[in-house]
Amino acid sequence: MYQHGEDGGATMARVLTDQEKQHIYDEVRQFLAEELEIDLEEIQEDTNIIDDIGGDSLLYLELVEEFKQEFDVNVEVRVIGQYMLKKSITTVREAVDAIYEVIEKGDQIVQELEQGEQAVQGS
């Protein structure tokens, strides 16, 4: 499905299926377990990635990079990092939801960040 951006260009937008969403959730848990060398059972939806299991902000970017490639998302990692910081992600569920948004919105994220910066500068 394509949506037209403000500049008239087409931007890719997609809707993840329930199966894709479950795959992403499972992959996020697996990734965290491997990277942090902990048991998969320790990682639940409400697990705080930094406080509960010792992760750091770089993990978020590594995680997103994995899914960027898998789902062919064409947004710079720097932009995704800004987006995730703006979202104040702390739990596994919040990280997974942010990944859904990055995949589904694609370059619309850039527009949202720019609009947010303009609103801050205008106030």
pLDDT at 106: 83
72 vs 42: CA distance, rounded Å? 30
34 vs 50: CA distance, rounded Å? 15
Q: Look-up: residue for tokens 């491997």?
A: 34
- Residue 115's domain spans which residues? 2-122
Residue 18 DSSP SS3: helix
pLDDT at 81: 80
Q: What is the number of domains present in the chain?
A: 1
The domain that contains 75 carries what CATH number? 1.10.1200.10
The answer for 47, left when phi > 0, alpha when psi is -120 to 50, beta otherwise, is beta
Tens digit of each residue's pLDDT, the chain (123 residues): 334 344 444 445 689 999 999 999 999 999 999 999 999 999 999 999 999 999 987 888 888 888 888 888 888 888 888 888 888 889 999 999 999 998 898 878 878 777 766 666 665
